[in-house]
Structure 1
């Protein structure tokens, strides 16, 4: 009676070499056991993948996309900065134009000259403030792509002053007021906070 015959009920089971004495399907000594089916296997020596961020992060070096609201706030900052720049230049130019027109009409009395100089000084001061405000807004807009939470706070403060100043120029300032409010809302939202704090979240 041979153990090699396939129909022999007392013979060695098929698929197992005689002499080893271990059940079929079990791994031999020195080999790692195979994980059950349905359980994800992880390669030896490789760390688990980090969780994927809802804003495009998850892996070191992954580029996070700027949220739509933050993009809109950045565009509004550029627009308001350009408007303030034009307004500042116009105010300074208008102050000198009015002074020249008054001088062409003839010599001014003491009180008239005082009021003319005061008006010119106020317009020049307002123009300079508008220019500084415009440059600051443009710098903040330029830093939206790489800036941190300080840029976000600066944009909110800048927009708050823009809304305050627009109250003194109603109804012409209604556009500036609306843009300023939207800048505050978009930068203060949760996705805006996540964008400006993304560098802290990666470490």
Structure 2
């Protein structure tokens, strides 16, 4: 540190009762507190990635319901049952998404597993030549990727009151 800088710090300390200036090397500057956490790993607000996963689960459930109704109207109850059976992972993700605000880490794990099955079902549909498989594949990847970050895990491991 230069002599001029040391003089400035000493002058500041004399004027302010011995405290180091905020930009000196003695006091470590820190970033403002994270609004999503209280303490070290206790999230206060639901992180954006968990909200995205929840919205995507709602969208997937809506698409599955719409597809079931359309298949039922167009091809009969057998086709509606087939579409509903293929949408079982979507139903699992949707039920987990309903509990994201209140439940623990098992909701996250279950949603990731259901999203993985959604990816597999989407790949299977694409392999059979069904073009809607790309929608399930994309939604499954997006949901699993949104629930994978550490901040998402911190949200599900938070203490509940």
Smaller-chain TM-score bracket: 0.5 to 0.7
Residue of structure 1 equivalent to 2:133 = 173
Does 2:51 match 1:58?
no
What is the distance in 2 between the residues matched to 1:66 and 1:81? 21
Instruction: Identify the structure with the greater helix proportion.
Output: 2
Q: Which runs of 5+ in 1 are unaligned?
A: 1-36, 39-51, 97-119
> Residue 162 of structure 1 contacts residue 176 of structure 1 at CA under 8 Å; is this kept in 2?
yes
Shift of 1:176: 2.2
Mark the CA change 1:53 to 1:173 in structure 2 (over 3 Å): closer, same or farther. same
What is the distance in 2 between the residues matched to 1:155 and 1:85? 19
Q: Deviations over 1:25-75 (max 9, x none)?
A: xxxxxxxxxxxx76xxxxxxxxxxxxx77732239xx87111111111111
Question: TM-score normalized by structure 1?
Answer: 0.52
Give the greater-gyration-radius structure (CA): 1
Question: TM-score normalized by structure 2?
Answer: 0.64
Residue of structure 2 equivalent to 1:161 = 117
> Residue 88 of structure 1 contacts residue 130 of structure 1 at CA under 8 Å; is this kept in 2?
no
Q: Which runs of 5+ in 2 are unaligned?
A: 1-17, 20-32
Residue of structure 1 equivalent to 2:101 = 145
